[in-house]
Amino acid sequence: MIRGIGWSGLVWSSLVAPGFSRTIWLILCFNRACLADCMVTNLPIYLDHNSTTPCDPRVVEAMLPFFNSAFGNAASRSHAFGWQAEEAVKCAREQVAKLIGAEPGEIVFTSGATESDNLALKGVFEMYAGKGNHIITCNIEHKAVLDSCKHIEKLGGEVSYLNVKENGLIDLAELEAAIRPQTILISIMYANNEIGTIMPMKEISAIARKHDVLLFSDAAQAVGKIPVDVNADGIDLLAISAHKMYGPKGVGALYVRRKNPRVRLTAQIDGGGHEKGMRSGTLNVPGIVGLGKACELCLVEMEEETVRLGSLRDKLENALLQMDDTHLNGSKGNRLPHTTNISFKHLESEALMMGFSKELAVSSGSACMSATPEPSYVLKALGLDDELAHSSLRFGIGRFNTEEEIDYAIEQVTKTVSRLRETNPLREMHKNG
């Protein structure tokens, strides 16, 4: 019975019935061998937290009333149901703002980072058409940014795509050189979703400010994982996604600076004029409450979690890099604490993932790109050849992973790599020259 409960079951039961879960916890602690066993019997182990995260049970608990008992429309001004929903949205707005050092009035709720990216890029492009038509971004951005830029190019905009260096960072001199009199926006992601590299936002902002250009950052992977402060970082627009930080899917936010400078946007969804006219549509109150709660938890727990996840990630990474023909992708130092991306030369990542699919859930890169047979454009941008890019796995460790699970993952990956390599003719051919 204990085996069937699993780790997330324990988290749940500790909320629902603390006494019950304490008893179970004691039983588990009593038998350490059983404990280790239990933690790895909840298979497959989820190590794909850059793709999405499980909703934290505390977030679910906060959201639940807003599906039925507190179901009001936050825009209904004439009755208590509406006021209750409005109050919950106000509280969430404060929670989101606090996490990124913003004012509540600077938060626009959206359906996620994809919509926030679209709104920031297209909204600035349309609003500042009188000033210029040039945007600067980089070639390892998420598709939500790159495809919005392609759309803008079709509308007559001009976009410069900066290359990144082998470590996944842009060259600041190249950024400054790309600025033209018509440049209205620099769009550089805070942290990359495939390799976890963190961009030097303060330095990027200093360049943007010097040339009086707005700075937008897609921070879907960064917010809640590392400290992000829009004022200290000098960011004018910032995209957030709830499901990357233990909140629900389908909800996010766009930070829009109101002072120094005041940023204005052309709405991309017209309707009832919600969110100060920047994003019409009845507010997703349960989702917004979930996003707020997720932000509150991240603010409190981030510091401790960073240390714990960093040490689990390093343990996994160091063990895997001990194998022959492995290669770490991206910068080792400047990275999200929970992410590592490793190439296993002469092996196809698909074959590897199939080899341990019952035991581990990892990915070869961005979930939105997993349907395409092409190698990752992010890894190619770092200079990897097709073969190496095709042999890479991204591991994203999360809040509910345990050290036992990481040990188990090391064992499974090592075993699978060795087994596949033994039978791999490519590797033999390579070894024999």
Contact residues: ligand PLP, CB under 6 A: 112-114, 117, 142, 144, 189, 193, 218, 220-221, 241, 252
Crossing angle of helices 403-422/285-321, nearest 10°?
60
Q: How far is the CB of 143 from ligand PLP (least distance, A)?
A: 8
Of 114 and 376, the one with the shorter C-beta distance to ligand PLP is: 114
From 29, 55, 298, 368, active-site residue:
368
Of 133 and 192, the one with the shorter C-beta distance to ligand PLP is: 192
Alpha-helical runs (H) found in 155-228: 172-178, 201-210
Q: How far is the CB of 240 from ligand PLP (least distance, A)?
A: 8
Give me the amino acid identity at 393.
Answer: L
Q: How far is the CB of 254 from ligand PLP (least distance, A)?
A: 11
Q: How far is the CB of 192 from ligand PLP (least distance, A)?
A: 7
Q: How far is the CB of 241 from ligand PLP (least distance, A)?
A: 3
Give me the residue whose beta carbon is nearest to ligand PLP. Answer: 112
38 is catalytic: no
The whole-angstrom separation of Cα 326 and Cα 132 is 46
Of 214 and 220, the one with the shorter C-beta distance to ligand PLP is: 220
Among 200, 198, 258, smallest CA distance to 231 is for 258
Q: How far is the CB of 195 from ligand PLP (least distance, A)?
A: 11
Among 224, 398, 246, 242, smallest CA distance to 308 is for 398
- Hey, what are 130's tokens? 């009188």
Question: Going by DSSP bridges, is the β-strand pair 392-396/339-344 parallel, antiparallel, or unpaired?
Answer: antiparallel
Angle formed at CA 332 by CA 330 and CA 336, multiple of 5 degrees: 85
CB-based contact 337:309 (threshold 8 Å): yes
Of 115 and 236, the one with the shorter C-beta distance to ligand PLP is: 115
CB-based contact 406:397 (threshold 8 Å): yes
- Give the three-state DSSP class for 373: coil
- Give the three-state DSSP class for 135: strand
Of 14 and 334, the one with the shorter C-beta distance to ligand PLP is: 334
- Hey, what are 171's tokens? 């060259």
Of 221 and 268, the one with the shorter C-beta distance to ligand PLP is: 221
Q: How far is CA 194 from the centre of its chain?
A: 9
CB-based contact 184:124 (threshold 8 Å): yes
Q: Which residues are catalytic?
A: 368
